[in-house]
């Protein structure tokens, strides 16, 4: 069963009085346990689609259903909290918190607190092989390590869907390979759906399927 | 729970110190200013508060204890004969000039009574026996006079309105609102200082009632017998004397303006640093939203930071206010820090800091979590 379904999504922005369509009738789905790569040239609408799938933006028309729940504008924060984990190109870790606290804080936001949250945060850091750096602040971590912590943060609360925006763009090629392998392992071992937006050709190596976009439309 | 608010706040120690300094300065300014004001007000009515009298008979419309008018001294008999009156005496309060050994003249206020011990007055005697004042041209002078009169010793003489009086005792705390020192002398000697104004005249009649006496009934009877005088209870008279300086001199307004400016400085500093901090952590707040948080989560962070700044700033400011107490005492300024004042300033500091953070709330309300994808 699809954990995320999008039906005939459109999105338009206004440039003055002129309506600019960015997404045109896009439908797609993500299954648990699969890694999907989203490719396309700049300006093709990838990021806007990611915003909508990540419940950060509402479409102009069309529907998004996440784990059987309609993504109404009023429910977007709740869906982000319960079902979606986001990984950003520039990590966006909290600089004042340690690696462990970054993960634990995300758990707090998702409603889990106390010793249980701390234990779960430690477990997730182990999954991304960052246990030995749990006490380090982001400024003391390498790019790859930061991205691992960011991925760990996206995993908390048993998020069924992991959406990653250019997760390897800010790290070197060797670490990029490790990060992509981690996404593949998470999809398989933890039964999550992973959507990676990237220009990195190495994504093809871990993706179960690739979706390509151009001019606001899916090509395949 | 991870305390993101405190971690962010303490992560930039310079900014935190700036915020806390602003709050501390404002808190100290308000406590010191109001404390000095309260100290001055206490002086405005300290002799009324300390005199063991229940009722005060004054000339009509006397504005405060220092600005006394005269009336016939024989009125005291009409008061003494009222049932329920335990004792009633004439009291003279009069401005005088004192000739100093260096040739200069300084102002003082004299209190003239026939029997000081009977009224437990003066209340804080450093040396000498007030009962000795009845013997003649003697005077007790308050220690606070040293700043104006220079040093003086018992046994020395000073000239009060041309009359040489021997200093036979010293007191403490006896100072008027205008910081003029108070001297105590016999009632007849006080009349002799200004015979044109005070011959067979007094400025007040102080009244002590018998235990359980009906204050209002006796006051009404005094009013009936002395229709051209005012009769006030101790509390009313003290309030009126203090109120005169607050309402009629612009002092109250001046204090209000200073307190307002102190608060304004605190609010501006906190608002500015809070807003700047919010802008600088905009991406982090957007991340909070992107990972599932809502505006309320971010409001809590900002409100908590404002509260912490208020608590730390208040503690430092209050400690600083206490620390300047001895310094001000050296300048003859009494600083009164009531727990009520401290409590009010504490509540005010927290409320103002929270209020100052509202400007950041507005910025957060329009925060788009998608900004974390854009850079």
Q: How many domains does chain B have?
A: 2
List pLDDT tens digits, range A112-166: 899 999 999 999 899 888 999 999 999 999 988 998 999 899 888 888 999 999 8
d(C-alpha A20, C-alpha A12), whole Å: 5
Q: Does B26 share its domain with B82?
A: no
Query: Measured between CB atoms, which of B1, B4, B290 is closest to A94?
Result: B4
Among B327, B306, B314, smallest CA distance to B8 is for B306
What percent of chain A clears pLDDT 90, i.e. is strictly above it? 60
Contact of A157 with chain B, judged by CB distance below 8 Å, is answered with: yes
**Domain shared by B314 and B346, yes or no:** yes
**Burial (Cβ within 10 Å: 0-12, 13-18, ≥19) of residue B352:** buried
Is B241 part of a structural domain of the chain? no
Cα distances (Å, whole numbers) of residue B58 to B49, B72, B168, B311: 16, 11, 29, 48
Q: Which two tokens stand for residue A67?
A: 């784990």
Task: Mark whether B268 and B189 lie in a shared domain.
Answer: no
Does residue B51 belong to any structural domain of this protein? no
Question: Do B319 and B363 belong together in one domain?
Answer: yes
By residue range, what is the domain housing residue B38? 2-43+250-373
ipTM of the complex: 0.86
Is A81 touching B (CB cutoff 8 A)? yes
pLDDT the model gives residue B6: 94
Are residues B65 and B201 part of one domain?
yes
Residues B174 and B280 in one domain: no
A92 interfaces chain B, CB cutoff of 8 Å: yes
**Which of A66, A96, A98, A153 to probe the B interface (max B CBs under 10 A)?**
A96
- Given B191, B212, B227, the domain boundary residue is B227
Give the mean pLDDT per block of 10 residues along chain B (375 residues).
92 89 89 88 91 96 94 97 97 95 91 95 94 94 89 92 95 86 95 94 97 96 97 96 89 84 82 82 87 89 92 95 90 87 91 86 81 64
User: Can you tell me the distance from the alpha carbon of B300 to that of A208, in angstroms, rounded to the nearest whole number?
Assistant: 42
Average pLDDT, chain A: 91
Q: Is A74 on the interface with B (CB under 8 A)?
A: no
Please indicate, yes or no, whether residues B210 and B321 belong to a single structural domain of this protein.
Answer: no
**Residue B117's pLDDT is what?**
95
Instruction: Cite the beta strand spans of A47-192 per DSSP E.
Output: 61-66, 69-70, 84-87, 161-165
B16 and B87 together in one domain:
no
Contacts of B243 (CB under 8 A, 6+ apart): none
- 8 A C-beta contact, residue B140 and residue B98: no
**Do B180 and B286 lie in a common domain?**
no
Chain B residues close to A57, C-beta within 8 Å = 370
Residues of A in contact with B283 (CB under 8 A): 92
The verdict on A47 touching B (C-beta cutoff 8 Å) is yes
Distance, CA of B189 to CA of B200 (rounded, Å): 12
Contact B71, B228 (CB under 8 A): yes
Q: What is the pLDDT of residue B12?
A: 87
* pLDDT band at residue A107 under the 50/70/90 scheme: very high
Q: How confident is the model at residue A37 (pLDDT cuts 50, 70, 90)?
A: very high
Within 287-316 of B, beta carbons closer than 8 Å to A belong to 287-294, 297
B254/chain A closest Cα distance in angstroms? 44
CA-to-CA distance for A143 and A171, rounded, in angstroms? 5
Q: What is the pLDDT of residue B375?
A: 57
Nearest to A92 among B4, B368, B372 (CB): B372
């Amino acid at each position: 069963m699809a954990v995320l379904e999008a039906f005939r999504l459109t999105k338009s922005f206004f440039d003055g009085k002129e309506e600019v369509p960015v997404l045109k009738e896009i439908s797609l789905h993500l299954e648990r346990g699969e890694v999907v790569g989203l490719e396309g040239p700049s300006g093709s609408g990838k990021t806007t689609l990611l915003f909508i799938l990540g419940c950060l933006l509402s479409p102009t028309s069309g529907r998004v259903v996440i784990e059987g729940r309609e993504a109404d504008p009023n429910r977007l924060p709740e869906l982000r909290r319960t079902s979606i984990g986001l990984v950003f190109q520039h990590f966006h870790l909290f600089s004042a918190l340690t690696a462990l606290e970054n993960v634990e804080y995300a758990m707090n936001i998702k409603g889990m607190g106390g010793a249980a949250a701390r234990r779960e945060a430690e477990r997730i850091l182990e999954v991304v092989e960052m246990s030995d750096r749990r006490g380090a602040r982001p400024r003391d971590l390498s790019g790859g390590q930061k991205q691992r912590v960011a991925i760990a943060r996206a995993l908390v609360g048993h998020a069924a869907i992991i959406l990653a925006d250019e997760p390897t763009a800010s790290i070197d090629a060797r670490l990029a390979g490790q990060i992509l392998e981690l996404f593949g392992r998470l999809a398989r071992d933890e039964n999550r759906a992973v959507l990676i937006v990237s220009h990195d050709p190495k994504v093809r190596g871990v993706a179960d399927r690739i979706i390509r976009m151009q001019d606001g439309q899916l090509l395949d | 729970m991870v305390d993101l608010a405190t971690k962010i706040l303490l992560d930039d120690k310079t900014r935190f110190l700036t915020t806390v300094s602003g709050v501390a300065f404002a808190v100290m300014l308000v406590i010191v200013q109001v404390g000095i004001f309260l100290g001055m007000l206490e002086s405005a009515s300290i002799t009324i508060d300390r005199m063991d009298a229940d009722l005060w008979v004054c000339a009509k419309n006397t504005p405060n204890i220092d600005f006394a008018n005269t009336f016939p001294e024989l009125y005291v008999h009409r008061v003494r004969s009222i049932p329920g009156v335990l004792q009633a005496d004439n009291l003279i309060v009069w401005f005088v000039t004192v000739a100093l050994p260096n040739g200069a003249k300084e102002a003082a206020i004299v209190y003239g009574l026939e029997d000081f011990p009977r009224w437990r007055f003066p209340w804080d005697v450093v040396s000498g026996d007030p009962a000795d004042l009845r013997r003649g041209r003697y005077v007790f002078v308050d220690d606070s006079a040293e700043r104006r009169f220079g040093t003086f010793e018992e046994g020395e003489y000073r000239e009060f309105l041309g009359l040489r009086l021997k200093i036979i005792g010293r007191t403490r705390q006896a100072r008027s609102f205008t910081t003029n020192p108070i001297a105590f002398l016999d009632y007849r000697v006080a009349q002799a200082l200004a015979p044109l104004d005070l011959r067979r005249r007094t400025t007040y009649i102080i009244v002590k009632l018998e235990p359980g006496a009906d204050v209002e009934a006796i006051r009404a009877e005094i009013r009936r017998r002395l229709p051209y005088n005012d009769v006030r209870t101790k509390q009313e008279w003290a309030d009126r004397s203090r109120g005169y300086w607050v309402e009629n001199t612009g002092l109250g307004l001046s204090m209000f303006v200073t307190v307002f400016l102190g608060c304004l400085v605190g609010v501006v500093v906190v608002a500015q640093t809070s807003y700047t901090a919010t802008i600088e952590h905009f991406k982090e707040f957007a991340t909070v939203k992107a990972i599932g948080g809502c505006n309320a989560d971010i409001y809590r962070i900002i409100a908590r930071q404002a509260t912490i700044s208020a608590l730390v700033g208040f503690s430092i400011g209050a400690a600083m206010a206490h620390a300047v107490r001895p310094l001000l005492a050296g300048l003859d300024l009494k600083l009164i820090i009531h727990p009520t004042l401290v409590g009010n300033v504490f509540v005010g500091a927290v409320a103002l800091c929270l209020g100052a953070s509202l400007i950041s709330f507005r910025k957060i309300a329009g925060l788009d979590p998608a900004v974390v994808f854009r850079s």
